Structure 1
Amino acid sequence: MDLSSIDSSWLIAKNVVRVYVATPNQTSQFVDESEFLLVCKEAKTIQYLVKLSTNPHFIIADHPIYYGRIHWALERMLEEKEFKEQANWTILRANVFATGILLPSIEMWKKDTNKPMALLLDEHSPLALVHPADVGAVAAKLLSLKDPSPHFHKTYTISGPEDVTGKDIVSYVEEIVKKKIDVEYKNEKVFKTVMESDKYPENVWRSMEKGHKKNLWTGQSRLANTETSDEVIELAAPHSTVKQTIQHALQGYLSF
């Protein structure tokens, strides 16, 4: 549902008392999400709110990726007394999504398997990619708790169950398609293609390009640096593997 179409009277009429806020990383994200937080505050009926945030390494005021700064500002809003004294919330900081990083490369490669697969990942740098469904499962578990109060005003990190490298990705693909494939690591063309197809302004995708290089090519978001919070493991431990994500992306593909 489009958050911009929701006002406080709708929340009251529908008797909404718990919400999951997971807005897409578009240029209007701060406007859309901050306005919705104001709507929730105005309704005075929301007992508990779970907010999806981004990679914990991105939540700084001067991060090059624009949506890192957006989430930093939104988290600061919730921490302010105007919200904290009235709203009960939990923030989920998710590591890099496996689907967002891998699916564009796989879809492009499927169009011509004789060409090298263009991977944005480095060959050797580890990364604890997480599946969006695993993040959603944590949010659902929190929102379904009879008493979520132990999680009020807490911030949790969610990473995938394992570290993978670009080389691992290629091995998984080769195992599934049963043939050797060529690959180009740290290939920025796939990133640029996705950004242009989604019609991101150049200054926006340049900010993402700059920030992701530091993160994806240095091992910054490996498990040792982005460990899943103990509370998350107790609630709904992430279990989806990168290999499973790749298998699903290649399911039904018969041109081998």
Structure 2
Amino acid sequence: MAPKTILIVGATGNTGRMVTEILSQNSQTLAHLKEYRLLALTRSTSSAVAQKLAKLPNVTFEEKKWPEIDGDWLRERNVVKAFIASHNLPPHFAEESTFHVAALRAGVKYVVRISTTAANWSSLQPNVFFTFTIPPAVEFVKNFRKAGKQGKLALLLDEKAEVGVVDADDVGRFAAALLSAEDHSIHNKKKYVLNGPDDVTGRGIVDLVEKEIGVKVENVKYRDLDFLEQMAASSPEPHLIQSIKYAPVTGWNGECSVATTSKEVYELAAPQTTAADWFQNALKNHG
């Protein structure tokens, strides 16, 4: 029989990378985790991220399309705990629900992010990721440096409303902390709201850009949703993509600040990455 296994679905994705790294570290130091194998799922084991993570202690990679996972597959691998980072395409609700049913039928004891009442679960609610808010600013700086002139800076955030934008890695750290717990019953059926360490505003992102380029940004559009139109135009089900346009409204109304962060987040894995950190790292990655 396979050893007890923690399955990481989306191990090479935004949050899954950090889940894999932290669980690997914890399996070396926490006695109760040493008996677990970490099974990381990816669409391609030849990717650079997969090859890097595969070198970590106690991590095994397997190529598998997670929507095709069934109860037999989970039982064969003796999956006891699981983390799932679903895609954001229109079918993801149906596909993730199918995964949860398979987990329930296979006797998986604990899943981070699941909504089946008969199973043990914890739901993570990050208000918004940096990947949705700061890349236009990075692209603006990149183009300014290349062409020496400004374009339009279009930002998702409101100019003044404070939002606790979070780094996906910080969400991954918290998920890993939950999965590393010997007794997960205290987290059962809990919803945890996650934010970054500091509130961010649209004006704050403009300030980061102006500090970087040394001049005032001339043309800024806040509450920009034009990217949704582009996504919808290329989607076979545009009406589902269009529904996302309502998601930022709570943030624009000032209801998604750092103050909404669950206290358990600070106790288990406090967020580390600020907007300035993410912005600077993204600029470095752009070369």
Q: 1:133 aligns with which of 158, 166, 169?
A: 169
**Residue number in structure 1 paired with 2:182:** 146
The 1:127–1:249 alpha-carbon spacing in structure 2 relative to 1, beyond 3 Å, is same
Alignment of 1:101 onto 2:133? yes
**Residue number in structure 2 paired with 1:229:** 262
Once residues 108 and 189 of structure 1 are traced to their aligned partners in structure 2, the CA distance between those partners, rounded to angstroms, is 17
| CA deviations over 1:51-104 (Å, ceiling 9, x no partner) | 0xxxxxxxxxxxxxxxxxxxxxx73xx23xxx2xxx221111111111122224
Question: SS of 1:92's equivalent?
Answer: strand
Q: Which runs of at least 4 in structure 1 moved beyond 6 Å after TM superposition? A: none
Normalising by structure 1, we get a TM-score of 0.76
**Residue number in structure 1 paired with 2:276:** 243
Once residues 100 and 195 of structure 2 are traced to their aligned partners in structure 1, the CA distance between those partners, rounded to angstroms, is 26
Question: SS of 1:251's equivalent?
Answer: helix
The 1:220–1:162 alpha-carbon spacing in structure 2 relative to 1, beyond 3 Å, is same
Residue pair 1:109, 1:117 contacting (<8 A) in 2 also: no
Larger % of strand: which?
Answer: 2
Aligned counterparts, 1:79-98, within 5 A: 79=117, 83=118, 87-98=119-130
| CA deviations over 1:209-256 (Å, ceiling 9, x no partner) | 2442x23422221223xx2111121110112111111112211546xx
Please state how far the C-alpha of 1:31 moved relative to its aligned partner: 0.9
Q: Name structure 1 gaps, 5 residues minimum.
A: 52-73
**Residue number in structure 1 paired with 2:243:** 207
Aligned counterparts, 1:1-256, within 5 A: 1=42, 2-44=65-107, 46-51=108-113, 75=115, 78-79=116-117, 83=118, 87-104=119-136, 106-107=138-139, 110-111=142-143, 114-186=150-222, 188=224, 190-192=226-228, 194-196=230-232, 199=235, 201-212=237-248, 214-224=249-259, 227-251=260-284, 253=286
* Number of aligned positions between the proteins: 220
The 1:5–1:26 alpha-carbon spacing in structure 2 relative to 1, beyond 3 Å, is same
Please state how far the C-alpha of 1:187 moved relative to its aligned partner: 5.3
Once residues 147 and 136 of structure 1 are traced to their aligned partners in structure 2, the CA distance between those partners, rounded to angstroms, is 19
RMSD: 2.4
The 1:111–1:193 alpha-carbon spacing in structure 2 relative to 1, beyond 3 Å, is farther
Question: SS of 1:93's equivalent?
Answer: strand
Taking only the aligned residue pairs, the percentage that are identical comes to 35
Normalising by structure 2, we get a TM-score of 0.69
Please state how far the C-alpha of 1:33 moved relative to its aligned partner: 0.6
